[in-house]
Amino acid sequence: MVTHYPSMSPDELAKQWDATTPKLFGYLVNVLRDKALAEDILQSTWLKALQALPRYQPRNKFEAWLFAIARNECKQHWRGGNREVPMDPEAHDIPDDRSSQQHDSILVDQIMAKMTEDDRELLRLRYIADLSMNEIAAILKINIIAVRVRVHRALKRAQHYV
Amino acid sequence: MSKNIKELFSSWGSSKRQPPEHNEILKNKILSRPPLPDEALAKAGTRHLPWLSFAFAGLAVIMLFVNFVNYEPEVTLLSSRNYQTGGSSGSKIAQPQALNESAIAPDYYPYPGNDVDITDTREFLKTGYHAAIRTRDISDLSQQVRNIVKGVDGRVDSLNISEKSGYISFAVPASKFDAFQTQIKGLVRSKFIIETINTQNLLPQKQSIEEAQETISTKLSVVRSQRSSLTATHNRTIANLNTQLASAQTEEERATIRTRIANENSSYSRKLSSLNAQISEYQAALDNTNKQDTKLINNVATVQGTISLQWISVWEVINLYAGPYWLPIILAIAACAAYFNYRRSLALPPMYSDTSR
């Protein structure tokens, strides 16, 4: 049974879950390099979001808001003395059975490993979370033009690594 | 490369999007949790300004203002106390800020000329010393100062000690002044003592005394010479008259010579007493000048000074070390820290940050 929240109906919430969770989980796995930890953070993110839901303003995109919470949950996790662990794709990353996509994925993972954390974060938000430039700007609290420029530069650097 | 970089990343991004292993269980578990009570959220929502930062900043401004109003330069604070006249001689030498020519030179010194020749390189330095010491224990420090004064063969001229302040005037030999000063400075750390040393060369006074001595001596020797000459002349005259008296034939001649002898004796007595009076006068003047010379030498050989002691609070000790604005600075730092902490919490999305408090 789904609890009723004043700002959003149970059906809407369930739809939001279905739409957002794959992106969010993929993002968290890529950030944290740990599936179990990503699940924990996913839960705490949703719990925090649901607690604050009565004050959620529908004019803001729910998805972007959820990602902002997730980012802060990650920060809090690291602030608590936990540090990022090296990625072990065999054990933790999501398996991919499509051969060409698997090849792309490995290639991009190698490229990402060479990039700065700022670039990685931008590209994660842009391509895993599938957020718009506006939403990324709102989450990172920077100008949308700056986001465009930074994404463009990050891609250029990525191109260079290819 | 068949795909461009954007397509590559898009493909990579979509490949990463997958639900967690127990998605449905998680979904049901999380979405079925009861919402947080509205009051708690409302309460959390009211705290949206950096009040702690405002409080620290306000306190910093208040303390800055208070310090600005109350701040006195350290030197003024210590040296503007009322200095009493030190020393048994009544000289004003012990007043460090009032040290001037009239205070140094006793009234009875001959007025020195302004044009002191540079070829005379002698020094007759009169030194005045004042120290303002701040301490937590007045009586103990005053006892130490007295011991130091006695230790360098000096004397304590006056002593006033109370719980919060103390005042000692003293005189020490100039030859041991350096040792004395070193010991006084060693009593407390340099931040707690301010010394004032005034030195004046009394060469003009010395030269003036020497000139007076020379003039008086010259005059004295002239008068003495006149006296000797007078006596010799008188003796010759009397001897001559006595010879004439012995060879005189008539009573009338003898009477005349006797009258001349009497006149000569009378004139001689008058002149002699006049010269004797002058000699006494010059001798007295010479003695007086010699005394002045001795006094000047003794004066130069003595350093008179005062030490004022003042109790210092812990707050003032901190002020001495950290400067007058340490508290506003600390409060400002605290305000900044509080603000950055607030900003850090702001980095969370609005609703989330509310609930996280």
**A104 pLDDT tier (thresholds 50, 70, 90):** confident
Nearest CA in chain B to A17: B27
In this predicted structure, what is the pLDDT of residue B346?
Answer: 55
C-alpha distances (whole Å) from B251 to each of A21, B247, B254, B265, B305 are 169, 11, 5, 21, 83
Report how far residue B126's alpha carbon sits from residue B303's, in angstroms, rounded to the nearest whole number.
7
**For chain B, percent of residues with pLDDT exceeding 90:** 46
How distant is the Cα of A113 from the closest Cα of chain B, in angstroms? 14
**ipTM, two decimals:** 0.83
Nearest CA in chain B to A100: B11
Residue B219 is predicted with a pLDDT of: 94
Residue B38 confidence (pLDDT): 52
Range A16-44 average pLDDT: 90
- Mean pLDDT check: name the lowest of B117-131, B245-259, B311-325: B311-325
Which positions 29-68 of A are in contact with B (Cβ < 8 Å)?
Answer: 29-30, 35, 38-39, 42-43, 46-56, 65, 68
| Residue B213 pLDDT exceeds 90 | yes
Q: Do A50 and B30 touch (CB under 8 A)?
A: yes
Q: Do A14 and B31 touch (CB under 8 A)?
A: yes
From A25-34, A98-107, A117-126, B333-342, the region with the lowest mean pLDDT: A98-107
Mean pLDDT of B234-252: 91
Cα–Cα distance measured from residue B352 to residue B4, given in angstroms and rounded to the nearest whole number: 38
**What is the pTM (predicted TM-score) of this model?**
0.45
Q: Do B31 and A50 touch (CB under 8 A)?
A: yes
Tell which residue, B292, B306, B305, B301, has the closest CA to residue B126: B301
Mutate: best of B21, B28, B351, B357, partner A, most A CBs <10 A: B351
Between chains, do B31 and A30 touch, taking CB under 8 Å as contact? Answer: no
Instruction: Assess whether pLDDT exceeds 70 at residue B100.
Output: no
Is the dihedral angle over the CA atoms A137, A142, A145, A149 positive or is it negative?
A: negative
pLDDT of residue B357 exceeding 90: no
- pLDDT the model gives residue B296: 92
The span from the CA of A64 to the CA of A23, in Å, is 11
**Residue B91 scores a pLDDT above 50:** no
The residue among A131 and B353 whose pLDDT is bigger is A131
What is the per-residue pLDDT for B50? 81
Q: Is the pLDDT of residue B226 over 80?
A: yes
Mean pLDDT of chain B: 80
- Of A25-29, A91-95, B223-227, the poorest mean pLDDT is in A91-95
Asked which of B44-58, B135-149, B234-248, B271-285 is least confident by mean pLDDT, the reply is B44-58
Across A43-57, B36-50, B96-110, B216-230, which has the greatest mean pLDDT? B216-230
In terms of DSSP bridges, do strands B125-135 and B302-311 run parallel, antiparallel, or are they unpaired? parallel
pLDDT band at residue B119 using 50, 70 and 90 as cut-offs: confident
CA-to-CA separations, B96 to A76, A120, B92, B303, in angstroms, rounded: 66, 73, 9, 12
Nearest residue of B to residue A50, measured between CA atoms:
B35
Query: Model confidence at B285, in pLDDT bands (50, 70, 90)?
Result: very high
More confident residue, B321 or B171: B171
- Read off the pLDDT of each residue in B31-59 and give the average, rounded to a whole number: 68
Measured CA distances, A115 to A43, A134, A156, B188, B331 (Å):
29, 23, 11, 61, 41
Q: Is B102 an 8 Å CB contact of chain A?
A: no
- Burial (Cβ within 10 Å: 0-12, 13-18, ≥19) of residue A115: middle
